[in-house]
Amino acid sequence: MSVFSGLSRPMKAAGVALIGIAIVAAVIGGISALSGGDGANQAGPSGTSTQPGTSGGTSTPPTTSSPSSPPPSTSPSPTPPAPTSPPPGQPTSPAPGRPGGDQQASNKWVTLRVFNNSTIKGLAARAADDFRGGGWNVIDVSNYSQGIIPETKAYYRPGTDEEAAAKQLAQEFGFKAEPRFPGIENASPGVIVIVTNNYQSGHKG
Q: Is 79 inside any structural domain?
A: no
CA atoms within 13 A on the CB side of 159: 0
Q: Residue 200 falls within a domain, yes or no?
A: no
Label residue 165 by pLDDT band (50, 70, 90). Answer: very high
Neighbours of 191 (CB within 10 A): 31
Report which DSSP code applies to 184.
Answer: G
Q: Which domain holds residue 128?
A: 104-195
Cα atoms in the 13 Å half-sphere on the side-chain side of 171: 8
Yes or no: say if 167 and 178 are a contact pair by the CB < 8 Å rule: no
β-strands 191-195, 153-156: how paired?
A: antiparallel
Give residue 21's identity as a one-letter amino acid code: I
Query: DSSP alpha helices (H): ranges in 36-136?
Result: 103-107, 123-133
Residue 98, in any domain of the structure: no
Tell me if 61 is assigned to some domain: no
185 is a domain residue: yes
For residues 28 and 109, membership in a common domain is answered with no
- ∠155-157-159 over CA atoms, to 5°? 130
Which pLDDT belongs to residue 168? 97
The most confident of the ranges 19-28, 33-42, 87-96 is 19-28
* Residue 156 counted as domain residue: yes
Q: Any residues with CB less than 8 A from the CB of 31 and at least 6 apart, and which?
A: none
Helix (H, G, I), strand (E, B) or coil at 37: coil
Share of the chain above pLDDT 70, in %: 53
Instruction: Write the DSSP symbol of residue 51.
Output: -
- Give yes or no for a contact between 37 and 25, defined as CB atoms under 8 angstroms apart: no
Q: What CATH number should be reported for the domain holding residue 119?
A: 3.30.70.2390
- The most distant pair of C-alpha atoms in the chain lies apart, rounded to whole Å, by 191
With cut-offs at 50, 70 and 90, classify the pLDDT of residue 21: confident
Say if 87 falls within a structural domain: no
Q: How many domains does the chain have?
A: 2
User: Over the stretch 83-116, which tens digit does the pLDDT of each residue have?
Assistant: 454 444 333 333 333 444 466 677 999 999 999 9
pTM above 0.75, yes or no: no
